[in-house]
Amino acid sequence: MNLKVDQVVKKLTAASGRDRTRMMDVVRGVQAELGCVSGEAMEAIARELGCERVEVEGVVSFYAFLSKQPKGKAVIRISDCVVCRMKGADKVTEAFEQALGIRVGETTADGQIGLERTACIGLCDQGPAALVNDVPVTYLSTEKVSEIVDSLTATGEPKKLVKTLGEGKNATERIHSMVINNVRKKGEVIFAGMEPGAALRKAAGMSPQEVIREVKTARLRGRGGAGFPAGMKWEFCRKAAGERKFVICNADEGEPGTFKDRVILTECPELLIEGMAIAGYAIGAEQGIIYLRGEYDYLRAHLEFSMAQMHEKGLLGDGIAGKKGFAFDIRIQMGAGAYVCGEESALIQSCEGQRGSPRDRPPFPVEVGYLNMPTVVNNVETFCCAARIVEKGAGWFAELGSKDSTGTKLFSVSGDCSLPGVYELPFGLTISEFLETVGGRDAIAVQVGGPSGTCVNPEMFDRRICFEDLGTGGSMIVFGPQRSLLDAASQFMDFFVEESCGWCVPCRVGNVLIKERLDRIRQGKGQAEDLDYLEQLCETVKRCSRCGLGQTSPNPVQTTLKHFREHYTQRLVESKDGLQPTFDLTAALGDAVEAQGREPVFHED
């Protein structure tokens, strides 16, 4: 028995009250302190938490940032996002491989530095980007690689890589990061600034029902992508029976090309916290959770500090805004690298210390959520909007935006445009207007809503960005004329293959098959029949998958097949002899010919 492992596990399990549902905190802690969660650690954790070792293994093996095998002291995780690759991430990766003398997925012989690829880390507007442990490194180039490697080799301290600081709160001691906010346009709702406590004091003077009515009257729709009416969700939850209720903020922000929640969390976490407390008041919950993606670990201390300040000001804890009985508190739950945990029921599973596989629905989280209690899950931006609605009134909010998508929306803009960054714009603008604003006039395509959204062609540029037309959770990726959309689609499929939780067959297997056939076409080996084959596969995956991941994962292929069909047909080959054009009969018989020492006889009919 390794004493160190035992000690660390005991310390961490004790800190989380030996509570099985807090497994994520324990395994994350073990990974951080010991560099891996070994079989021995799994056994110790299982013993301390009263579960089986294989359950711990199930959790550890699910999340990209946890591992059974030791990783380097510093792990460089290069963002594998389509946008970072457009900006040269592949060259940077090669340069790292050369400088370190290892391949992606390996660790240097001295165990100091590991190199990996990881799904989009939400720094697309300042890519190519990477995380070195929890430290974001932006604007990478091949020239910077040796400097980074030298620094890590010399100091072993990722923090030392931070030489310049980003603007705003990125420069504070608690964040101390080179990340920039890049807010290009401030709108009336999120970035207008609000006096701390203004919304909470207003809420405290209303009844919970009045708060819900206000949010409903404002017609606020969820900002995470699906656009479900927030007031309705709160009302369902309020009415659901349960001893306790919970409010969860979805700060998993995993959709490639999305990074607007990062900026809210950096610049105005107070607004989010007020929104969460208001939701708690409305539904009758006293406990909230912020589920923060592992990639944003560098923001955790900052968030904790903001919460502590709110406590001091009487805006969190008991007697909020001086109102007796208005109690609300929040804890942060860290993720560990799994896009699917942004799906609300998978997120709840993860908060309960399980693998991040979604649950069957119904029942929905508003009825059976965290710890099987009624739970509201909303996006970061949704809570911020709710706070502002309570502060300024539903009428004010509903005046902004379009008829069925009221208010402003934060857009995360990246790709081939001169002004990437975060924009707060009213819902309802057209793609053309959008491209004009972001300096993307040459665009041949825009990926609206990330890979799970739609790839639109220039004929669709007069379509409007809002839930009644082209919906988006905020990811807007611009493609210039030099880009191959099939390459992008293929990279998006890699993402879904990597991020599928593996629970259900169509998503687990189907996405691999879609990707295989798409690549065959990209390599100039596809036939016309392959397009039908792809369409059929996409349909099965989309219709039969259990959760939103599988139900949207064929979109990169399905929407390009629809809107950019010529990109496919251009690469198809025709069969001359009725055989598959990619099948080379002579080559296939090569070995046999050699072994037998005689040529085959072909019979022509």
Ligand X SMILES: Cc1cc2nc3c(=O)[nH]c(=O)nc-3n(C[C@H](O)[C@H](O)[C@H](O)COP(=O)(O)O)c2cc1C
Q: Which residues bind ligand X (CB under 6 A)?
A: 222-226, 228, 250, 252-255, 340, 342-344, 377-379, 382, 547-549
Instruction: Fill in the per-residue mask, 192 to 231: x = in contact with ligand SF4 (CB under 6 A), - = not in contact.
Output: ----------------------------------------
Which of 135/547 has CB closer to ligand SF4? Answer: 547
Of ligand SF4, other proteins, ligand X, none, which one does residue 401 interact with (CB within 5 to 8 Å by kind)? none
Token output for 215: 């949010």
Of ligand SF4, other proteins, ligand X, none, which one does residue 498 interact with (CB within 5 to 8 Å by kind)? other proteins
Residue whose C-alpha is closest to residue 563's, from 470, 435, 495: 470
Distance CA 5, CA 10 (A): 8
Query: Angle, nearest 10°, between helix axes 528-544 and 511-522?
Result: 160
C-beta of 355: minimal distance to ligand SF4 in Å? 10
Residue 468 sits at φ, ψ, to 5 deg, of -80, -10
Which of 509/531 has CB closer to ligand SF4? Answer: 509
Q: Which of 471, 550, 554, 556 binds ligand SF4 (CB under 6 A)?
A: 550
Q: Which of 288, 358, 421, 450 binds ligand SF4 (CB under 6 A)?
A: 358
Token output for 123: 């720094």
CA dihedral 527, 532, 538, 543 (to 10 degrees): -170
The three-class DSSP label of residue 474 is coil
Q: Residue number with the shortest CB distance to ligand SF4? A: 550
Contacts of other proteins in 335-374 (CB under 8 A): 338, 340, 355, 357, 360, 362
What is the Cα 217 distance to its own chain's centre?
A: 30
Q: Which of 10, 18, 47, 53 binds other proteins (CB under 8 A)?
A: 53
Residue 221 sits at φ, ψ, to 5 deg, of -115, 145
Of other proteins, ligand X, ligand SF4, none, which one does residue 320 interact with (CB within 5 to 8 Å by kind)? none
Q: Which of 394, 546, 552, 556 binds other proteins (CB under 8 A)?
A: 546
Of other proteins, ligand X, ligand SF4, none, which one does residue 333 interact with (CB within 5 to 8 Å by kind)? none
C-beta of 348: minimal distance to ligand SF4 in Å? 14
Which of 160/508 has CB closer to other proteins? Answer: 508
Verify binding: residue 502, other proteins, rule CB under 8 A. yes
Cβ-based neighbour number of residue 469 at 10 Å: 17
Residue whose C-alpha is closest to residue 79's, from 256, 245, 222: 256
C-beta of 226: minimal distance to ligand X in Å? 4
Verify binding: residue 506, other proteins, rule CB under 8 A. yes
Verify binding: residue 39, other proteins, rule CB under 8 A. yes
Query: Angle, nearest 10°, between helix axes 208-217 and 269-283?
Result: 120
The three-class DSSP label of residue 219 is coil
Half-sphere exposure of 538 (CA within 13 A, CB side): 22
Q: Which of 303, 351, 501, 538 binds ligand SF4 (CB under 6 A)?
A: 501
Q: Which of 371, 444, 505, 573 binds other proteins (CB under 8 A)?
A: 505
Residue-wise over 500-521: b if at least 16 C-beta within 10 A, else e? Answer: bbebbebbbbbbebbbebbbbb
Of other proteins, ligand SF4, ligand X, none, which one does residue 355 interact with (CB within 5 to 8 Å by kind)? other proteins
Which of 337/358 has CB closer to ligand SF4? Answer: 358
Judge whether 346 and 547 are in contact, CB under 8 Å. yes
Distance CA 414, CA 435 (A): 11
Q: Which of 32, 34, 36, 51 binds other proteins (CB under 8 A)?
A: 51
DSSP assignment of 129-186 = -EEETTEEE-S--HHHHHHHHHHHHHH--GGGG--S--SGGGGSTTT--S----EEE-
Residue 379 parent element (H or E): strand 375-379
Binding residues for other proteins (CB under 8 A): 39, 51-55, 57-58, 61-62, 338, 340, 355, 357, 360, 362, 497-506, 508-510, 512-513, 516, 533, 536-537, 539-540, 543-546
Binding residues for ligand SF4 (CB under 6 A): 340, 357-358, 500-504, 507-508, 545-547, 549-550
